[in-house]
Amino acid sequence: MIFDFSPIWENIHLYLGGILITLKLLAISLTFGLAAAIPLGLMRVSKQPLVNAIAWLYTYVIRGTPMLVQLFLIYYGLAQFAAVRESMLWPYLSNATFCACLAFAINTSAYSAEILAGSLKSIPHGEIEAAKAMGMSRAKLYRRILLPSALRRALPQYSNEVIMMLHTTSLASIVTLVDITGAAKTINSQFYLAFEAYITAGAIYLCLTFVLVRLFKLAERRWLAYLAPRKA
Amino acid sequence: MLNGYGSTILDGAWLTISLALTSMALAIVLGLIGAAFRLSPIKWLALLGETYATVIRGIPDLVLILLIFYGGQDVVNRVAPLLGFEDYIDLDPFATGVFTMGFIFGAYLSETFRGAFMAIPKGQSEAGAAYGMSGMQVFFRVLVPQMIRFAIPGFTNNWLVLVKATALVSTVSLQDMMFKAKNAADATHQPFTFYLVVAALYLAITSVSLLLLRALEKRYSVGMKVAEL
């Protein structure tokens, strides 16, 4: 037999631990990324040129450079400056988990902001006019009409972004974290079974992707039902 | 410039660009085959195309790169002795890189191309068939030229993702600009400087690509009516 999966089964706990780390990284970066994406998305649809330009530049630079470079700039790059090494933030910035989450959150915030801006622009103007006719203030208009509607409409595209982020978290293995990919690396270095180790990791990611796709389908059925084509 | 590392990084940038372009050429071929398979009336071909697109798009690029670089090397050398080869076989890193990136992005492009083919009105291929063209002729003479216009936005997106994904091959020791920057950063203890330089280079590549592909999109949309609001 040219393939030998027995060391994989004996060390399956490594992969299970990896799944937990991957999901933790994903949850943290998505939470903070989305929280930052909401103000950024609103800035991207602002009519004030300066406000719009700042958000545009941020998303343009982040979306135009590789995630790996961003991660290295934060994890390895910041240590170049003595001021950073002596600051109060250093315990955090020298921690791989913190840097990975920070880099991932920054990255996803730029992509999510663009998705949100796109969906804010696609809101039918009637909804906004109706809200104004009801006498809503600007803040109330955003809180009650624009954001709920835009966040719902963004769901299909946001599901792609979440899956991209799941895949992006694999970069954490490059900065020494033992996520799913990191577990595969460990197995490979112990048993020299590169193929078995990485194909197992691939299969796990594939399953997680399917689960996420399924969850988003359910979410769309719940929150986007009013936009679904009418059944014949 | 840059403690003398400027020129090595530019060498790396050249490798990044040539890797990206060659991989994209392969990805276009695989993407077209994939899209043709998925739209095929033959069930098992459609299923094969569907499986390729779903499986590859469901696994992170980094894992696929590690799988093909290390796993591929590993499997080749386990199979080779059975076929009578005695020496250890080393896969060429650049060729493996091109194969890997092409294989991954072929799956993404098959999705783009499939959508673009479906956007072409059915009457077009029927008219081609009515003129007595063979299936191949209809595909290359009627469908492909029209499909390009619909495919450019998705293609642009995939190209940008591919350029950025090439940075990952630096982790399997292909000497692209990310790899060179890492070496320079380790030698000079100035990681921020060097990673910032490659970030700027990537941004330059993606910006130029965007401008070129937007011009191409305009070129292919000549004669298309756009409704003014």
A/B interface, count of CB pairs below 8 Å: 124
Asked if the Cβ–Cβ distance from A205 to B59 is below 8 Å, we say yes
Asked if the Cβ–Cβ distance from A181 to B66 is below 8 Å, we say yes
Q: Compute the Cα dihedral for B139, B142, B146, B148 and give only its sign.
A: positive
- Which pLDDT score, from 0 to 100, does residue B79 have? 86
- Which pLDDT score, from 0 to 100, does residue A1 have? 63
Q: Which of A199, A205, A210 sits opposite B71 (nearest CB)?
A: A199
- Please state at what angle helix A96-121 crosses helix A49-64, rounded to 10 degrees: 130
Residues of B in contact with A193 (CB under 8 A): 74
Instruction: Report residues of chain A scoring pLDDT below 50.
Output: none
Structural domains in chain A, sorted by start: 14-227 (1.10.3720.10)
- Which pLDDT score, from 0 to 100, does residue A7 have? 86
**Extents of the domains making up chain B:** 17-174
Residues B111-130 pLDDT 10s: 999 999 999 999 999 999 99
- Which pLDDT score, from 0 to 100, does residue B163 have? 96
pTM: 0.91
d(CA A59, CA A114): 7
- Does A200 touch chain B if contact means CB atoms closer than 8 Å? no
Q: Compute the Cα dihedral for B2, B5, B7, B9 and give only its sign.
A: negative
Q: Select the residue from B16, B52, B54, B66 to test the A interface by mutation, using most A Cβ atoms within 10 A.
A: B66
- Which pLDDT score, from 0 to 100, does residue A78 have? 92
Residues of A in contact with B59 (CB under 8 A): 167, 202, 205-206, 209
* Angle at alpha carbon of residue A183, lines to B67 and A95, rounded to 5°: 115
Q: Alpha carbon of A2 to those of A6, B74, B77: distances in Å?
A: 12, 10, 10
Asked if the Cβ–Cβ distance from B185 to A76 is below 8 Å, we say yes
Instruction: Report residues of chain B scoring pLDDT below 70.
Output: 1, 226-229
Chain A residues 66-105 within an 8 A CB cutoff of chain B: 66-70, 72-73, 76-81
Asked if the Cβ–Cβ distance from A76 to B195 is below 8 Å, we say yes
Asked if the Cβ–Cβ distance from A72 to B78 is below 8 Å, we say no
Q: Which of B60, B182, B202 sits opposite A167 (nearest CB)?
A: B60
Say yes or no: ipTM exceeds 0.95: no
Question: Helix count (H) and strand count (E) of chain B?
Answer: 10, 0
- B195 min Cα distance to partner chain A (Å): 6
- Which pLDDT score, from 0 to 100, does residue B51 have? 95
Residue range B17-174, CATH number: 1.10.3720.10
Among B155, B65, B168, which residue's Cα sits nearest to residue B113? B155
Phi and psi angles of residue B26, each rounded to the nearest 5 degrees, phi first: -65, -40
- Does A119 touch chain B if contact means CB atoms closer than 8 Å? no
Asked if A168 and B49 count as a contact pair (C-beta separation under 8 A), the reply is no
